[in-house]
Amino acid sequence: MKQQILQMLCESDDYLSGEELSRRLNVSRTAVWKHISALRQEGYRIDSVTNKGYRLLQKPDRLSAEWLQRGSRRFVGTAVEVADQVDSTNEALKRRAAAGEPAGLLITAEEQTGGKGRFGRKWASRRGDGVYFSFLLRPDLPPGSIASITLAAGFGVCCAVREYTGLDARIKWPNDVIIGRRKLCGILTEMTAQSDRLDYVVVGIGINVNQERFPEDVQQKATSLRLETGRRWDRNDFLLSVLQKLDEVMERYLISLSVDDMNAFKSLCATLGREVSVQRGKETLTGTAVDITPEGNVVVRCADGKEREINSGEVSVQGLY
């Protein structure tokens, strides 16, 4: 009910009378007033004028599970939980997954005290600055699919950022979204599997939204939507767009990835065509990234003319941070 009132307020450009709300929802005007009060408690600024009714002036700069549950999705965030503070959204969701949580749950948090990226690297996750979230998949796929699930997630975020902000976001293989030379988004996919079958996959995504500055050590490497556009963004609205795009991409991906999907992915991949070096244990390979395979590997044409498929390891791309 509260969700329906919120939705009507969002969709209306003008004041909505309490009478109309009560009629359309078939509840008393007192009930409408109670839900309006509850929304105000949550930080929504709602104007009320006698004889005109209610109007939404501003959404709170706090993540809202109700807002994020809008729309209908099949895979990503079919249920949404907003935490104030967690160690990391991946850790929180892995605990739930291990206890049998069904696929679809998304956990997001205002703040992560132990946000992390690949290789155990710290991911700066200050309160209110970015969006940090993880969602749970349980696809009936072999374990090797994790690489391409990560790619699909990066592709989804990249497309959502392009559509929502108009910025020229690109994918840095395997798991970053960048703008220019700088990192906007990181993805950490974690999973458990039994023999030849995935058990669960937790996809964790951090996107820099309203940061004006970063910790010293990543200042030169990171960017945010705000730094790129000079304005603040509504995190709820932005995150909702990202979730909708991710759901669309995951649905396509988990059913079957078409050649067109791969081509769309490659057209946004900043790694292709660039000089790369790959750290494999003690060995360092250098060459040009020439292709991405459907399994999510990068094909590197090495100095000796041979093409090698790289499926893991630390890839540095010349010309990107």
Q: Which is nearer to its own copies, 14 or 196 (CB)?
A: 196
Query: How near is the Cβ of 314 to its own copies at its closest, in Å?
Result: 10
We find the least distance from the C-beta atom of residue 52 to its own copies, in angstroms, to be 53
Name the minimum Å distance from CB 182 to its own copies: 20
Alpha carbons 100 and 35: distance in angstroms, whole number: 34
Question: What is the DSSP code string of 54-82?
Answer: EEEEE--SS--HHHHT-S--SSS-SEEEE
Q: How far is the CB of 281 from its own copies (least distance, A)?
A: 7
Q: Which is nearer to its own copies, 76 or 147 (CB)?
A: 147
Nearest distance in Å: CB 242, its own copies? 19
Beta carbon of residue 23, minimum distance to its own copies (angstroms, whole number):
47
Which residue has 């132990």 as its token pair? 114
| Contact residues for its own copies, defined by CB under 8 A | 118, 140-144, 146-147, 150, 174-175, 187-197, 199, 281, 295-296, 311-313
Rounded CA separation 213/106 (Å)? 27
Query: Where are the extended beta strands (E) located within the chain?
Result: 45-49, 53-58, 79-86, 105-112, 130-137, 169-172, 176-179, 182-194, 197-208, 275-280, 283-292, 298-302, 307-310, 314-317
* Choice between 32 and 202, CB closer to its own copies: 202
Letter string b/e over residues 75-94, b meaning 16 or more CB atoms within 10 A of that residue's CB: bbbbebbbbeebebbbbbbb
- The CA distance from 201 to 36, in Å, is 38
- Contact of 301 with 288, CB cutoff 8 Å: yes
CB of 164: closest distance to its own copies in angstroms? 25
Buried b (16+ CB within 10 A) or exposed e, 213-227: ebeeebeeebbbbbb
